[in-house]
Amino acid sequence: MRTGNRELAIAAVLLLAALVAGRAIPAANGVKPVLYVTNSLGDDITVIDLHTLKSTADIKVGEKVHGVCAPSDGKHLFTTIESENALKIIDTATNEIVATIQLTGRPNQCAATPDGRYVAVPIRTNDINIVDVAQKKVVKVLPIDGPHNCYNANSNTDMYCSSMKGNEIDRINLKTMEYTGKIPVGGIPRPYAVSRDQKMMYVAVTDFHGVAAVDMANGNKIERIELPAPTAASNCEKLEPRTPTHGVALTPDDKQLWITSLSDSGVYVYDVATKKISQEVPTGACPNWISVSPDGKYVTVSNSASDDSSIIDAKTHRELARVKVGKGPKRLLAVNIPSN
């Protein structure tokens, strides 16, 4: 038998043996896509395998778990805990909490740099905490009026944090630890997304069923993208008052923007090039937050009123599964973690 054929035969035998033994086959690129869902009315994070579309673990982290973010290598997960005024670091290989970092107040949605060096955390008492992960402490506190969410556009230098009272998104330079820009968004900012070239920003704003598209490369010109009118009165007002849209996410190639409609229990897809909006994709009740997997294959949505998460095929716009999670899911994050 030729060497090449013999190696193929051995590989086939090993594959068959693994399947017979019921063992999972490691991903070819050494990573696997995993979804982390924070359950805001509980004390836990649900872990979902995006290959099997099944829940695989439940991580106890503390009462009123809020935000979740991660570096690009997926080795650690960061989560903010309101009841403890803390940022916790989780080892994704073991699902164990490996560090707790005290913050200056009650935290909201965090954002991490791709290299994992810094995490920005908005504090509801009008501060932004910049955490140095290696030092495991807050190294800078910046004032901000009405902070809500921080966001990273795949940059180790720039970080964005929203000012609800200022009707703007503020940009932070992590080298100088100072603000370098204030981007007006034409309303009270809720969740938002920034393109990787940092030229466009898409912001859900209070009392608007859609998003504001802010052209940062051309003087912060604002164009509103309105979704179709809701078909019924919202049953989600108690969850997100005056916020018809509370989930916004760009695909990794920045070609599509996925937007939630709380009133209609569904999501829409906005094509950035053609500026066309898709038909509604149904989800569970009161879709809250969106995260797209790093490979762009899966769009994940937290459904706050039905306590589940919708997993959607990004190409076909078809819901693949609706996975039960904990109580009041809100923030969620799809991450590639090391498969071994």
**213-227: pLDDT as tens digits:** 999 999 999 999 999
Averaged pLDDT of the chain: 92
User: Sorting pLDDT into bands at 50, 70 and 90, what band is 324?
Assistant: very high
Q: Which residue has the tokens 């849209």?
A: 245
- Other Cβ atoms closer than 10 A to 222: 17
pLDDT on residue 6: 52
Q: How far apart are CA 233 and CA 85, in angstroms?
A: 36
Q: Which two tokens stand for residue 87?
A: 């940022």
Q: Is the pLDDT of residue 162 over 60?
A: yes
Q: Over the stretch 104-114, which tens digit does the pLDDT of each residue have?
A: 999 999 999 99
| End-to-end Cα distance, the chain | 33
SS3 333: strand
Q: How far apart are CA 173 and CA 74, in angstroms?
A: 23
Q: For residues 147 and 162, is the Cβ–Cβ distance under 8 A? A: yes
Q: Is the pLDDT of residue 138 over 50?
A: yes
CA angle 230, 235, 239 (to 5 degrees): 115
User: Sorting pLDDT into bands at 50, 70 and 90, what band is 237?
Assistant: confident
What sign does the dihedral 87-91-95-99 (CA atoms) show? Answer: negative
User: Sorting pLDDT into bands at 50, 70 and 90, what band is 22?
Assistant: very low
Q: Is the pLDDT of residue 12 over 70?
A: no
pLDDT on residue 191: 97
The CATH number of the domain covering residues in 32-338: 2.130.10.10
pLDDT on residue 233: 73
Instruction: Tell me the average pLDDT across 287-301.
Output: 97
Query: What share of the chain in percent tops pLDDT 90?
Result: 88
SS3 270: strand
Q: List the domain boundaries for the chain.
A: 32-338
Q: Which residues contact 253 (CB under 8 A, 6 or more apart)?
A: 296
The strands making up 76-81's β-sheet, listed across from edge to edge, are 65-69, 76-81, 86-91, 96-102
Please indicate, yes or no, whether the overall pTM of this predicted structure exceeds 0.85: yes
Q: How far apart are CA 136 and CA 49, in angstroms?
A: 29
14 exposure class (CB count in 10 Å sphere: 0-12, 13-18, 19+): exposed
